[in-house]
Amino acid sequence: MFGLGKDDMHKQFFTYDLEKKLQDPTQKEAIEKDIENKIHAIKKLLKAGVNDQEFETWGHILQGYYSLLKTVGVMAQNKQSKRG
């Protein structure tokens, strides 16, 4: 009743699209390269010089991409440790 009962739907685990893509080694490498390319582009932009407000905004975005890259690495390590 009202989704509170125990059924098969609650037994299934939710997986994000990113997790599914990281299971394929070629897609994992492509995702990591894409993130690294974006990091380098933002660094290049910051080195070229922007005003203070844009510098802060791009700095936050850069931190987000670093976190994403770290998360992708951790997720890949966790998948490998579960396999073997």
Please check whether residue 74 lies inside any domain of the structure: yes
Q: What is the mean pLDDT of residues 5-17?
A: 66
Please check whether residue 5 lies inside any domain of the structure: no
Please check whether residue 8 lies inside any domain of the structure: no
pTM of the predicted protein model: 0.72
- Closest CA relative to residue 38, chosen from 77, 72, 64, 71: 64
Please check whether residue 73 lies inside any domain of the structure: yes
Please check whether residue 4 lies inside any domain of the structure: no
Please check whether residue 2 lies inside any domain of the structure: no
Please check whether residue 67 lies inside any domain of the structure: yes
Please check whether residue 7 lies inside any domain of the structure: no
Task: Give the structural domain span for 61.
Answer: 17-79
* CB-CB contact of 28 with 21 (8 Å): yes
Question: How many domains does the structure of the chain reveal?
Answer: 1
* CB-CB contact of 21 with 75 (8 Å): no
* pLDDT value of position 38: 96
Q: Which two tokens stand for residue 18?
A: 């990113």
**Which residue type, as a one-letter code, is found at position 30?**
A
* pLDDT value of position 14: 78
23-76 tens-digit pLDDT: 888 998 999 999 999 999 999 999 998 888 899 999 999 999 999 999 888 876
